[in-house]
Amino acid sequence: MATRPASPSFPAAPRPSPFTRESSPKSLIRAKRRSRFSPLSVSGSPRSADLAGRSVALSVDIPATFDQPLSNHHKLMGRWVAAREGTTRRYTRVGARKRIEDVFNAAVLEILAPIELVDLRVAVLAGENDNPPAIALVCESLGQLDLGWIETGDAPVPWRAAAYAALGETLGTALPVFGYQDLFDEISMYYWDGEIDDESARQSLTAYHGLSAEELAEQTLPSEMNARRPDWMIGTNAAKAASLPKTLRAALRRLRDGHKALDRLASERNAWHFDTDILYEYVPGIEECSSLPPLTLVPFEQFARELDDVARHGMEMGFMDVCGICPLPEVSRIDDWFESLRLGVQFLLAAQHLVRFDPPNP
């Protein structure tokens, strides 16, 4: 059980298409955020713990090698551990600290273990300036999410489009992820001054970027970008639920039911809830990171240039990769946090099942 921060890294999703192409000089674009944020900075500060993928630790302010008083987040977790164990034992400070971390570790990892769609880590934050401790949930995967049969299968396009649309409508509740419309909007704002039709985009490229007729002929225009979308990315191609096979309907219903359960949680008791103001209080300086989420549902094969353009700042400064942050003003909130963590994992397992599911052709 580590009590010091791990080095920052971005493990790939199961079949990622990472943002790696060298971008053009005009490519420094900041994508819009959907209530998500970026990596916790790693330092020796006592402010927070930085927890490596699928491992958990508390902050470095109480090194295990020194017999110092327990910090506020160890004390809060200690009361939770004592209530779970139901027996009274005397520990040294070092022993108490290790026991608290081990019990919390095991409880978190047991819940996260089945998830393979993304890599997640947990950070326990020691609140300062009268703030209570908090727990942050962070996504460590980077690039295009594995879409499985939706992208590479040979099932009918309406089935694939229905599954893709469902993921786009729901995944942002739990994960820092952006879709095609987010990408298009950012490319439009940067290159075409927000225009969405070809003629207006040409005028913008001429007026604001000073392109010549020859240079203009080489530029991507809105219609060309939209035309690169595979048919399964287009929402109007999605089949109605009644026309889908029973097994696929069941997989989509499981996804939407999991999303509804997560969406109904009160924000102050939700491990997956993101609040920028709360994050800035616990991790000052994080606003210097890119506002871009680390994950996307946009296929890299068709949109490599655009994805690399919008990702350039994130590759340089870090992505906004926190799934949620939850302050813990009292010990009872820890059980609430765990319950919401379970609900979120059930939702992500439904998404994982959907992308692995390959419906038989009719």
One-letter amino acid for residue 145 of the chain: L
**∠315-293-42 over CA atoms, to 5°?**
60
Give the C-alpha separation, 275 to 24, whole Å: 33
- Over the stretch 48-99, which tens digit does the pLDDT of each residue have? 333 333 434 444 444 444 445 567 777 887 888 877 776 677 767 777 788 8
Name the burial class of residue 178, with classes exposed (0-12), middle (13-18) and buried (19+) by CB atoms within 10 angstroms of its CB: buried
Mean pLDDT calculated for residue range 268-281: 93
Please give the pLDDT value at position 70. 65
Please give the pLDDT value at position 4. 27
Higher pLDDT, 134 or 41: 134
Q: How far is CA 116 from CA 139, 166, 173, 183, 291, in A?
A: 12, 19, 18, 25, 25
124-128, 249-253, 275-279: segment of lowest average pLDDT = 124-128
* % residues pLDDT > 90 (the chain): 50
Please give the pLDDT value at position 36. 40
Edge-to-edge strand ranges of the sheet holding 143-144: 143-144, 295-296, 177-178
| Helix 157-170 × helix 246-263 angle, to 10° | 10
Higher pLDDT, 100 or 159: 159
Give the C-alpha separation, 272 to 268, whole Å: 10
- Tell whether the model's pLDDT for residue 164 goes beyond 50: yes
User: What's the N-to-C CA distance of the chain in angstroms?
Assistant: 51
| Residue 301's pLDDT band (cuts 50, 70, 90) | very high
Instruction: Return the number of other C-beta atoms located less than 10 Å from residue 3's C-beta.
Output: 17
- Over the stretch 224-249, which tens digit does the pLDDT of each residue have? 999 999 999 999 999 999 999 999 99
Strand stretches in 165-304, DSSP E: 177-178, 295-296
| Residue 362's pLDDT band (cuts 50, 70, 90) | low
- Over the stretch 41-51, which tens digit does the pLDDT of each residue have? 333 333 333 33
* Spans of all domains in the chain: 56-356
| Residue 24's pLDDT band (cuts 50, 70, 90) | very low
Give the C-alpha separation, 40 to 359, whole Å: 39
pTM: 0.80
Please give the pLDDT value at position 356. 94
Query: How much is the CA Rg of the chain, to the nearest whole Å?
Result: 23
